[in-house]
């Protein structure tokens, strides 16, 4: 089982995917952004490898205006070496990647111009995946589209437009049930009609349909995946109970996740997590399932410890005690405490306490100007005038200046 996440990383520096507005999309600007985004993707792949994450959804924004006439660059030629290097890493790391065009990529629209733009967008996504040298098990996922007052006719329109697609698109395209219109039953009908692999999305099913067990529908969807398509994929997310139905949770509740994996263990599939904290939940899920080595939890702790200290010194001490027994693997307790701490609002006092610990890395190497700045900052904190974000940004420049490797791996500056 592969576990992946979508598009962006949280807490990891130098992995931002940039974009631009049309009026600024000059050839020079587009080249700069593409170079930046491919370098970011390269760092994301390295991060994923280091954390045993071997599935990833690449952002459709990786090439700005990729399917638009605004971008006239032959980017797959100009960046051929960079793309080939990324593809080599994908093979070397045994990664599976995918892409998921946005809500405006609709194949069954009654408007011809909308369908034409959708086809152009799909061609762009295929072009990018082919430029990486990936095989057709690296998929492009779309929703069916709208009902337009007559769902059966809209489904027929999808099939008619599907039939017009190039084989290079058909070989990669996967369809997914959505949370408003097309249930898993509907999507399976289309998948069977045209031999299209179907992705089952558990939260969409809960909101739209909710008949039968998830295991039943996973099995049915699995029948649509052929050998060349690779291992069946599902999308997994949890409801944010404070928001409207279908809203993804901020992080994965580890108990619910493990229960779901147990309930659906009759078949093999890859899981794409759709969750707001992205890679953080992917690491959490992998640690819960795939390892019994407390070193993995200590590695996690080293990243989170100053965030926890900032929010709750009490939980900070509890986690330290929890990890003292090197023969144990208290992964559930660890993440429960961690989630509790991250959901706690810091006070000025706890924020300063964490800052003092972080400053300890610099107190013997900082120059006079940096010492004076820090002293003034801490003294002003007593008046509740501490701008924590600004202080962290200044400290991050010192992390880079002094190449403080332990703090470079900390989430303290980026969450």
**pLDDT digit string (tens) for 200-253?**
999 999 999 889 999 999 999 999 999 999 999 999 999 999 999 999 999 999
337-341: average pLDDT: 97
How far is Cα 89 from Cα 199, in angstroms, rounded to an integer?
26
Whether the per-residue pLDDT at 408 is higher than 60: the answer is yes
DSSP state for residue 98 in the 8-state scheme? E
* Predicted pLDDT of residue 290: 77
Confidence of residue 387 (pLDDT cuts 50, 70, 90): confident
Return the structure tokens found at 21.
């507005």
Instruction: Name the residue among 202, 127, 137, 220 with its Cα closest to residue 173.
Output: 137
Q: How far apart are CA 162 and CA 170, in angstroms?
A: 8
Average pLDDT over residues 329-353: 94
| DSSP-derived pairing of the beta strands 3-6 and 55-57 | parallel
Task: Tell me which DSSP letter residue 251 carries.
Answer: S
Query: The tokens of 239 are what?
Result: 């409801």
Q: What percent of the chain has pLDDT over 70?
A: 99
pLDDT band at residue 293 using 50, 70 and 90 as cut-offs: confident
Compute the C-alpha angle 250/255/257, nearest 5°: 65
Locate tokens 């997994």: which residue?
236
pLDDT higher than threshold 70 for residue 303: yes
For the chain, first and last CA: distance in Å?
A: 28
Q: Which of 277-281, 296-300, 377-381 has the highest mean pLDDT?
A: 277-281
Q: Report the sign of the C-alpha dihedral through residues 179, 182, 186, 189, in that order.
A: negative
Q: How many CA atoms lie within 13 A of 235 on its CB side?
A: 28
pLDDT digits (tens, 9 = 90+) for 60-86: 999 999 999 999 999 999 999 999 999
Q: Which residues pair with 173 in a beta bridge?
A: 140
Closest alpha carbon to 273 in 284, 263, 265, 262: 284
Local structure of 228: helix, strand or coil: helix
Q: Which residues pair with 248 in a beta bridge?
A: 239
The neighbouring-strand residues paired with 142 are: 175
Give 298's pLDDT tier (boundaries 50, 70, 90).
Answer: very high
C-alpha to C-alpha distance for 56 and 35, rounded to whole angstroms: 20
| Number of neighbouring beta carbons within 10 Å of residue 121 | 21
Phi-psi region of 18 (alpha: psi -120 to 50; beta: other; left: phi over 0): beta
Model confidence at 192, pLDDT cuts 50, 70, 90, reads: very high
Q: Given this model, what pLDDT does residue 313 score?
A: 97
What fold does the segment set 3-290 form as a domain? TIM Barrel (3.20.20)
pLDDT band of 322, cuts 50, 70, 90: very high
Residue 243's contacts (CB-CB under 8 Å, 6 or more residues apart) are none
Per-residue CA distances from 27 to 68, 71, 73 (Å) = 13, 8, 7
Contacts of 221 (CB under 8 A, 6+ apart): 184, 188, 191, 197, 198, 199, 200, 232, 234
CA dihedral 293, 299, 301, 303 (to 10 degrees): -160
Listed by start position, the domains of the chain span 3-290, 291-345, 348-415
- For residue 158, the model assigns a pLDDT of 97
Rounded CA gap, 101 and 117, in Å?
A: 12
Give every strand in the sheet of 96-98, ordered side by side. 96-98, 55-57, 3-6, 270-273, 233-236, 198-201, 173-176, 140-143
pLDDT at residue 381, rounded to an integer: 63
Q: What is the predicted pLDDT for the residue at 378?
A: 83
pLDDT of 96 reads 97
- Mean of the per-residue pLDDT values of the chain: 94
Q: Are the C-beta atoms of residues 53 and 9 closer than 8 Å to each other?
A: no
Structural contact between residues 239 and 206, judged by C-beta atoms closer than 8 angstroms: yes
Express each pLDDT in 90-122 by its tens digit: 999 999 999 999 889 999 999 999 999 999 999
Q: pLDDT digits over 19-29, tens only?
A: 999 999 999 99
Report DSSP letters for 338-381, one per residue.
HHHHHTSPP-HHHHHHHHHHHHTTTTTT--HHHHHHHHHHHHHH
- What element of type H or E holds 3? strand 3-6
């Amino acid at each position: 089982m592969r576990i992946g996440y979508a598009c962006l990383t949280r807490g990891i520096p130098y992995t931002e995917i940039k974009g631009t507005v049309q009026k600024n999309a000059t050839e020079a600007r587009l080249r700069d952004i593409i170079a930046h985004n491919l370098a970011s993707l390269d760092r994301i792949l390295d991060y994923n490898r280091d954390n045993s994450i071997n599935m990833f959804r690449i952002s459709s924004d990786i090439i700005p205006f990729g399917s638009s006439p605004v971008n006239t660059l032959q980017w797959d030629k100009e960046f051929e070496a960079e793309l080939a290097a990324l593809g080599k890493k994908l093979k070397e790391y045994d990664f599976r990647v995918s892409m998921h065009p946005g809500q405006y990529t609709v194949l069954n629209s009654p408007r011809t111009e909308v369908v034409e733009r959708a086809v152009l967008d799909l061609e762009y996504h295929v072009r990018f995946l082919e430029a990486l040298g990936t095989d057709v098990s690296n998929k492009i996922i779309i929703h069916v589209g709208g009902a337009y007052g007559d769902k059966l006719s809209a489904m027929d329109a999808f099939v008619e437009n599907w039939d017009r697609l190039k084989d290079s698109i058909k070989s990669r395209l996967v369809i997914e049930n959505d949370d408003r219109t097309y249930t898993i039953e509907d999507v399976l009908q289309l998948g069977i009609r045209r031999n299209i692999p179907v992705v089952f999305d558990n939260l969409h099913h809960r909101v739209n349909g909710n008949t039968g067990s998830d295991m039943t529908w996973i099995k049915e969807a699995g029948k649509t995946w052929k050998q060349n398509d690779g291992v069946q994929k599902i999308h997994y997310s949890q409801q944010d109970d404070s928001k409207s139905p279908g809203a993804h949770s901020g992080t994965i509740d580890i108990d619910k996740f493990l229960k779901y994996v147990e309930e659906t263990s009759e078949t093999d599939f890859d899981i794409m997590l759709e969750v707001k904290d992205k890679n953080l939940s992917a690491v959490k899920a992998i640690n819960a399932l795939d390892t019994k080595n407390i070193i993995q939890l200590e590695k996690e702790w080293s990243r989170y410890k100053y965030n926890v200290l900032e929010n709750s010194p009490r939980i900070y001490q509890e986690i330290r005690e929890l990890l003292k027994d090197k023969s144990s693997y208290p992964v559930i307790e660890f993440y429960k405490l961690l989630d509790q701490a991250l959901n706690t609002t810091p006070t000025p006092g706890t924020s300063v306490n964490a800052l003092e610990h972080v400053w300890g890395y610099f107190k013997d190497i900082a120059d006079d100007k940096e010492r004076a700045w820090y002293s003034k900052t801490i003294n002003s904190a007593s008046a509740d005038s501490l701008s924590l974000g600004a202080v962290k940004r200044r400290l991050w420049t010192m992390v880079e200046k002094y190449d403080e490797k332990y703090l470079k791996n900390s989430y303290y500056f980026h969450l």
